[in-house]
């Protein structure tokens, strides 16, 4: 069984954390060190560009490269790296690029024929939506021909929302179905105001009839968007308007909550606002991980400590058997480890 600590180790060379593998395969080490000359020399000498990690996510160098500059992806593709091979979680390289929001790498993979329908932690479109990578989202929608047709009134409504123009929102509302009004990518317009941290526009849109808990195609509400992006003013406006702080996203977005997203982003002020409004600290998604465990996985130190102090259930084990304690130990967060140990039963 793959454990969270081995996944953390698999990401360690990219992130430069102390728990990186001691003996990474040559191409992985060269990519991690940003040694382009060494990578090209190794390939010229016959290194296998489709080698796999022996543990963890069983990644390929092409997957690994998407966490670096796109030139590493380009060199591997030119050397014959397989585009659609999938890791232990079912994610091909384009899903990795989507996770990192590496738009240049996504473009190279699309040009190489990458399949955008393969599902690991969602499709690449769903992953960039969840992660909030707008430029990558636009590229993928354009590639798939999925940008929605909108009325001029809808486009004007989005522009007013992004500008925080409540008066224009009120004027436009009679000409738009506020229950279905969409932004440029087909998400509720309220989401756009939330991402932009336009609390005034959030309030005006809801007053004009936008549903406060309206969902996009992955089950995210405006509160999810604001929480992920650390948009505290919008978070507070949405909570004041009655947003469900314990809404759960769809399975194609890992069944997360707004608190998961705030924790992942290390937005401690948003974490506090959600906790103060009754957010469930022990909610688990499809990976079996609480917001605390996700914070640890993503390296969000301050959010992890805040969630421990909030009384999160520390006995929860994730899908791969790891706990908040093991994740904190992997990151060598002494204060988090100490706080967890103080709360664990003898």
Average pLDDT over residues 260-283: 97
Alpha-carbon distance of 183 to 31, in angstroms, equals 38
The overall pTM is greater than 0.85: yes
Q: For residues 140 and 262, state if they share a domain.
A: no
Q: What is the pLDDT of residue 316?
A: 84
Average pLDDT over residues 17-43: 76
For the chain, give the percent of residues with pLDDT over 70.
Answer: 92
Alpha-carbon distance of 28 to 25, in angstroms, equals 5
Residue 103 within any structural domain of the chain: yes
For the cut 90, the answer to whether the pLDDT of residue 297 exceeds it is no
234 vs 3, residue with greater confidence = 234
Q: For residues 250 and 131, state if they share a domain.
A: no
Q: What is the pLDDT of residue 269?
A: 98
Average pLDDT over residues 91-120: 98
Cα-only R_g, the chain: 21
Q: Give the end of a domain, one of 144, 166, 184.
A: 144
Q: What is the pLDDT of residue 346?
A: 66
Residue 81 within any structural domain of the chain: yes
For the cut 70, the answer to whether the pLDDT of residue 126 exceeds it is yes
Residue 160 within any structural domain of the chain: no
pLDDT in tens, 187-242: 999 999 999 999 999 999 999 999 999 999 999 999 999 999 999 999 999 999 99
Q: Give the end of a domain, one of 144, 171, 205.
A: 144
pLDDT in tens, 52-81: 988 778 999 999 999 999 999 999 999 999
Q: What is the pLDDT of residue 287?
A: 87
Q: What is the pLDDT of residue 24?
A: 38
Residue 22 within any structural domain of the chain: yes
130 vs 317, residue with greater confidence = 130
Cβ atoms of 58 and 90 closer than 8 Å = no
C-alpha of 232 from chain center:
18
Residue 84 within any structural domain of the chain: yes
Cβ atoms of 324 and 308 closer than 8 Å = yes
pLDDT in tens, 133-149: 999 999 999 999 999 99
Q: What is the pLDDT of residue 10?
A: 45
Report the CATH number at residue 270.
Answer: 1.25.40.20
Q: How many structural domains compose the chain?
A: 2
Average pLDDT over residues 164-170: 96
CA torsion, ordered 140, 145, 151, 155, to nearest 10 deg: 20
Alpha-carbon distance of 119 to 105, in angstroms, equals 18
Residue 13 within any structural domain of the chain: yes
Average pLDDT over residues 24-44: 89
Mean of the per-residue pLDDT values of the chain: 91
For 120, the domain range is 4-144
Instruction: Kindly report the backbone phi and psi dihedral angles of residue 75, in degrees, each rounded to the nearest multiple of 5, phi listed first.
Output: -60, -40
Q: Is 182 helix (H, G, I), strand (E, B) or coil?
A: strand
Cβ atoms of 257 and 220 closer than 8 Å = no
Q: For residues 256 and 133, state if they share a domain.
A: no
Q: For residues 252 and 134, state if they share a domain.
A: no
Residue 233 within any structural domain of the chain: no
Q: Give the end of a domain, one of 118, 144, 170.
A: 144
Q: What is the largest CA-CA distance in the chain?
A: 67
Cβ atoms of 141 and 185 closer than 8 Å = yes
Residue 52 within any structural domain of the chain: yes
Q: Is 19 helix (H, G, I), strand (E, B) or coil?
A: coil
């Amino acid at each position: 069984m793959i454990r969270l600590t081995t996944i953390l180790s698999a990401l360690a060379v990219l992130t430069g954390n102390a728990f990186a593998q001691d003996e990474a395969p040559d191409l992985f080490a060269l990519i991690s060190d940003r040694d382009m000359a060494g990578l090209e020399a190794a390939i010229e000498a016959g290194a296998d560009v489709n080698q796999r990690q022996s543990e963890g996510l069983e990644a390929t160098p092409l997957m690994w490269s998407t966490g670096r500059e796109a030139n590493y992806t380009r060199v591997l593709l030119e050397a014959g790296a397989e585009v659609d091979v999938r890791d232990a979680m079912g994610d091909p390289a384009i899903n990795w690029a989507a996770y990192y929001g590496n738009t240049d790498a996504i473009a190279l993979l699309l040009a190489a024929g990458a399949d955008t329908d393969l599902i690991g932690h969602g499709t690449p479109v769903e992953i960039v939506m969840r992660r909030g990578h707008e430029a990558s989202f636009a590229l993928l929608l354009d590639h798939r021909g999925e940008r929605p047709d909108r009325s001029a009134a809808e486009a004007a409504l989005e522009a007013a929302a992004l500008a925080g123009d409540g008066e224009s929102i009120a004027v436009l509302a009679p000409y738009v179905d506020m229950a279905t009004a969409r932004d440029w990518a087909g998400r509720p317009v309220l989401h756009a105001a939330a991402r932009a941290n336009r609390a005034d526009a959030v309030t005006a849109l809801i007053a004009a009839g936008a549903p406060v808990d309206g969902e996009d195609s992955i089950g995210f509400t405006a509160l999810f968007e604001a929480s992920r992006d650390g948009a505290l003013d919008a978070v507070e406006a949405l909570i004041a308007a009655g947003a469900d702080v314990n809404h759960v996203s769809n399975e194609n977005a890992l069944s997360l909550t707004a608190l998961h997203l705030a924790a992942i982003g290390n937005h401690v002020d948003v974490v506090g606002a959600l906790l103060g409004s009754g957010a469930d600290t022990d909610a688990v998604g499809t990976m079996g991980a609480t917001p605390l465990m996700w914070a640890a996985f993503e390296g969000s130190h301050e959010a992890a400590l805040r969630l421990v102090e909030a009384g999160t259930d520390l006995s929860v084990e994730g899908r791969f058997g790891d706990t908040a304690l093991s994740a904190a130990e992997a990151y060598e967060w002494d204060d988090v480890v100490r706080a967890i140990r103080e709360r664990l039963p003898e």
